[in-house]
Chain A
Amino acid sequence: MKLHCFQRAFFHSSPSLIPVQLPAPMETHLWYMKPSEVKSESLLKEYLDILSPCERKNVLQMGGEELRKSALLARALVRTTIARYQINSEITPRSLKFRKNIHGKPEVEWQYSDDWHPPSLHFNISHTSSLVACGVTVNSQIGIDVEEKHRSIKHNVLSFARRYFSEHEVQFLAAISDPQVQRMEFIKLWTLKEAYVKALGKGFSGAPFKTFTIRSKSVPEEGFNKLEGSSLKASEIVVDSFDNPTVLTSNWQFLLLELANSHYAAICTEKHGASEGDRNVPVKLTVWKTIPFLEDECVSGTDAVKTICGL
């Protein structure tokens, strides 16, 4: 699969988006923005302009400029991203409609007629105040979560883990003696668990964190770490579910990345066509850093995207 890498392009006239082909099955697209890089008031106005009245209201209700900005960019990112795939000629960032499934997971509400069937496009958003990301797949449920690498939590890591994580995960974290490393492994584990729950789409209570374990398969003691300079494939991340043995947990695959040197990003997608004993079909990932209507940069294979696990 050829990577679609675009040169930097600057558009100063009416807003336009560089079109992109839909991801192939087993391919994931990840688009992200850094709010700190969006400074133009007129650009922010353009983003506000493509939101629905309801989204606009929610954005303006946020408490504080920083929160308003990241909320605005999250909606602008998802609308412009989906519109890029040019599903049909009628779709623009503004025309897209969204709804929530019965569990509250957002999805596109396609406006279609009898003779047109929309593709099975799936997306998921995550944002912090410093990074906004949108993952896209076709035919595959997706959940993503991003967190600042240096995020601190108010509680003690192990107290938190004992309250919310599975026993296996607590043991894994407890075995790490360096508190800095322990905190970073905790953040990685959190993003993976969040991504899984978001991929399932049933909400926090649909898959309580205590009822499943996410772990690194090949080198469990090493946790979720890069295999430095190794020719081995990065270790696989797997999930074991206790509550629902019937839930096919082998249906899910994970990717853990370091994004823009500042964030951990976890991506969980559905595997299709995998049967027992099959080798894992590797996930293809393409990542763009974008400022919609202004510039896009394919950053796959650069320093901005460092695979930690799963690819």
Chain B
Amino acid sequence: MASFTASSLSFSPVSCSFKQNQASSLRKASLSFSGKGFPSHRLPALRFRVACAAKPDTVNKVVEIVKKQLALPEDREVNGESKFATLGADSLDTVEIVMGLEEEFGIAVEEESAQSITTVQEAADLIEKLLEKKC
């Protein structure tokens, strides 16, 4: 979380495993310091964007694709922390999930990256990273 003194700004390390509702507010954390209350000659105008956790939309889409691929019941709890292996995805399922994500988001996932995705959150984070590269 951000903490600041009059002359310096510091952020303590931010953990990346946010629940969905926290992620959205974090995404919008743009801090500007050229406003009232801060002597503008001391502090430069700074904008910070904490881009750590993927958007809830992305996570939800991943959940949807995973549930479909593994034929999980609608009421089954799947969230960012869910591990593919624990949900019962074998290697063929995982490859199909990656393919589904590529189609949904219009991205291409390298084998090295695909191998490192073990949870829904990791998949969502990778998607966002690839989408950012595209722009």
Instruction: List A193-252 residues whose CB lies under 8 Å from chain B.
Output: 194, 203-205, 208-209
Q: Which listed residue, B69, B76, B92, touches A147 by the CB 8 Å rule?
A: B92
Task: Tell me the bound Cα distance from A154 to B89 in angstroms.
Answer: 13
Task: Check if A155 is an interface residue, CB within 8 A of chain B.
Answer: yes
Task: Tell me the bound Cα distance from A128 to B100 in angstroms.
Answer: 22
Residues of A within 8 A of B87 (CB): 63
Interface SS, B side:
helix
Q: Which listed residue, A61, A153, A203, A208, touches B92 by the CB 8 Å rule?
A: A153
Instruction: List B54-80 residues whose CB lies under 8 Å from chain A.
Output: 68-69, 76
Q: Which listed residue, B85, B86, B96, touches A160 by the CB 8 Å rule?
A: B96
Residues of A within 8 A of B102 (CB): 163
Q: Contact size class for B?
A: 20 to 34
Q: How close is A149's CB to chain B, nearest CB, in angstroms?
A: 14
Q: Which listed residue, B86, B92, B95, B111, touches A205 by the CB 8 Å rule?
A: B111
Give me 7 A-to-B residue pairs in the complex whose CB atoms sit less than 8 angstroms apart, sorted by A's number: A66-B88, A67-B86, A128-B90, A153-B92, A160-B96, A205-B111, A205-B114
| CB-based nearest A residue for B114 | A204
Task: Tell me the bound Cα distance from A66 to B70 in angstroms.
Answer: 14
Q: Is A205 in contact with B112, judged by CB distance below 8 angstroms? A: yes
Q: Is A194 in contact with B91, judged by CB distance below 8 angstroms? A: yes
Taken residue by residue from 95 to 115, chain B's Cβ proximity to chain A (1 for < 8 Å, 0 otherwise) reads as 110011010000000111011
Q: Is B88 in contact with A67, judged by CB distance below 8 angstroms? A: yes
**A190 with B92, Cβ < 8 A, contacts A163-B99, A203-B115, A204-B111 known:** yes
Task: Tell me the bound Cα distance from A148 to B115 in angstroms.
Answer: 23
Q: Give the total of A residues in contact with B, Cβ under 8 Å.
A: 23
Residues of A within 8 A of B85 (CB): 62
Q: Is A63 in contact with B88, judged by CB distance below 8 angstroms? A: yes
Q: How close is B113's CB to chain A, nearest CB, in angstroms?
A: 8
Other than the given A63-B76, A203-B115, 19 more pairs (CB < 8 A) read A62-B85, A62-B88, A64-B88, A128-B90, A129-B88, A147-B92, A151-B92, A153-B96, A154-B69, A155-B96, A155-B100, A160-B96, A163-B102, A190-B92, A194-B91, A204-B114, A204-B115, A205-B111, A205-B114
Q: Is B91 in contact with A204, judged by CB distance below 8 angstroms? A: yes
Residues of B within 8 A of A209 (CB): 111
Q: How close is B80's CB to chain A, nearest CB, in angstroms?
A: 15
Residues of A within 8 A of B100 (CB): 154-155
Task: Tell me the bound Cα distance from A155 to B65 in angstroms.
Answer: 12
| CB-based nearest A residue for B78 | A63
**A61 with B115, Cβ < 8 A, contacts A155-B96, A194-B91, A204-B91 known:** no
Task: Tell me the bound Cα distance from A153 to B112 in angstroms.
Answer: 23
Residues of A within 8 A of B86 (CB): 61-63, 67
| CB-based nearest A residue for B108 | A163
Instruction: List A159-213 residues whose CB lies under 8 Å from chain B.
Output: 160, 163-164, 190, 194, 203-205, 208-209
Task: Tell me the bound Cα distance from A203 to B113 in angstroms.
Answer: 12
Q: Is B95 in contact with A164, judged by CB distance below 8 angstroms? A: yes
Task: Tell me the bound Cα distance from A160 to B107 in angstroms.
Answer: 15
Task: Tell me the bound Cα distance from A205 to B96 in angstroms.
Answer: 16
Task: Tell me the bound Cα distance from A290 to B87 in angstroms.
Answer: 27
Q: Is A154 in contact with B96, judged by CB distance below 8 angstroms? A: yes
Residues of A within 8 A of B88 (CB): 62-64, 66-67, 129
| CB-based nearest A residue for B116 | A205
Task: Tell me the bound Cα distance from A153 to B76 in angstroms.
Answer: 21
Task: Tell me the bound Cα distance from A160 to B100 in angstroms.
Answer: 10
Task: Tell me the bound Cα distance from A129 to B68 in angstroms.
Answer: 18
Task: Tell me the bound Cα distance from A66 to B112 in angstroms.
Answer: 30
Task: Tell me the bound Cα distance from A154 to B71 in angstroms.
Answer: 10
Closest 10 CB pairs of A and B: A205-B111, A208-B111, A205-B112, A204-B115, A205-B115, A67-B88, A63-B86, A63-B87, A154-B96, A62-B86
Taken residue by residue from 9 to 42, chain B's Cβ proximity to chain A (1 for < 8 Å, 0 otherwise) reads as 0000000000000000000000000000000000
Residues of B within 8 A of A66 (CB): 88
